Structures are given as structure tokens and as C-alpha cells.
Amino acid sequence: MAKLIEAALFDLDGVIAFTDRYHYLGWKRLADDEGWDFDETLNHQLRGVSRMESLQVILDHNGVELPEDKKKQLTDRKNGYYQKLLEDINEDDLYPGALEFVAALRERDVKTALASGSRNAMTVVNSLRLEGFFDAFVTGHDLDRSKPDPQIFELSAERLGVPAERCVVFEDAESGIEAGLAAGMYCVGVGEAELLPNAEQTFTKYADIDVDALIETGRIKR
């Protein structure tokens, strides 16, 4: 089998596991503490961006201006709420079929990396026992630039020893799709096509992906 794709890079939230609901609950509690408006529609704007950028979205929505030290205090508090919520994460929070798909790629000698901008990514990895599914891990602790900057995917490819043009990215956020494209990689959107307009291909069920077609062509279906 001719192989175009030699490595697959996966975001964590909304791609391998549904940790986004824990993020939502963390931000919701902070917003309630402060008397700010926050709902799931606004929460959708936070997907794929950093903690501080997420706070800024909420502040802008509520017309609030704060000094940087206060913002840091607030993001630290939200992170504490999130870490406490993560104590309840379990196999029910895995994206259906995700680990089976990753395993199928590895059986075909495709290298895999988990590429998450979250600084809590390894907590999720350890809680869900994901260590054996990936050859490399890149998290927010490794980065100084967030998506849509391509740094996260460039570093992932470097750690795997695979050139960008042989990598495919799986992302559920527009900022992640933009980062993957900027890195010169194939990109697959995880979710509804209308929510990921820059993704050339999307899916909602891992079972619908033709694994061999992906490896041979970079496309999820023949």
C-alpha cells in the first residue's frame, strides 16, 4: 500500500475526549461568581483558544475591562474549577470510536501525536489511560504561541520525525484547522461542516472514515 500519510496529529478536546463540557462548567461558575453573562453560544467561541484569550472573549462580551494581574487571578481560579471537575472524567467522556481509529492507524505503522494547547492535557491523558495510543505529546506547557499559529503542529511533526506534508491533523475548532493548514498539513474537521468552513473534509463518526484511503490519499473517503 502506497503511503502518503505517515503521521496523524490529534487535538484532545472534542476530538479524542469531550472535555469541553468541563471547560464550560468551569467558565460558567467563574462567570456566575462575577455576575457576568455566559452561555453555551458564547462558550462555542472559546474552542481552540488559550485560557487568557477565552477570558478576554467573556470580558468583551460583558463590556468589562480589567488589569492583567486581575485577569491572571481569574484564569487561575477557573483552572482550579476545571481541574476539580476533571476528577470525574471517565470513559464515557471519550469520543466514540476515537481510540479504535487511532489503534487502526498505528496497526498500519502511522505515527500518532496528541497535540493539545491545554496545560491540563496530561491530566486527561493519565485519567483516561491514553498514554499507549500516542508516540508523542505536545501540550500548552511546550508552547509560547497558541492556535491559529502552527507551532503546536510543527512541534508535533518534529517530535515524530515526519515532514509536514506527510501529516494529517484532526481538529474540531476553526483555529486548529487554520493552524494545521498554516503548517502545510492535511486537515480533517471533526464536527459539522458548517461549523468548520475552512476544513476541506469533515466527519462526525470515526466509523465512517476509510482508514486505508486516508493513509493513501489524505482523504477520509475514496
If you average pLDDT over residues 160-167, what whole number do you get? Answer: 98
- β-sheet bridge partners, residue 141: none
Q: What is the CATH number of domain 7-18+94-217?
A: 3.40.50.1000
Domain boundaries defined on the chain: 7-18+94-217, 20-88
> 130-147 burial, b for 16+ CB within 10 Å, e for fewer?
beebbbbbbbbebbeebb
- β-sheet bridge partners, residue 7: 111, 167
User: Which amino acid is residue 117, in one-letter code?
Assistant: G
CB 194 within 8 A of CB 84: no
pLDDT of residue 1: 62
In the structure, what pLDDT confidence band is assigned to residue 60 with cuts at 50, 70 and 90? very high
Share of the chain above pLDDT 70, in %: 99
CB 149 within 8 A of CB 179: yes
pLDDT of residue 222: 79
Residue positions annotated with a catalytic role: 11, 13
Q: Distance (Å, rounded) from C-alpha 204 to C-alpha 167? A: 20
pTM (global) more than 0.85: yes
Q: Supply the mean pLDDT for the chain.
A: 95
User: 102-150, pLDDT tens digit by residue?
Assistant: 999 999 999 999 999 988 999 999 999 999 999 999 999 999 998 999 9
Identify the CATH homologous superfamily for domain 20-88.
Putative phosphatase; domain 2 (1.10.150.240)
If you average pLDDT over residues 34-56, what whole number do you get? Answer: 90
Bond prior to 150 in cis (omega within 30° of 0): no
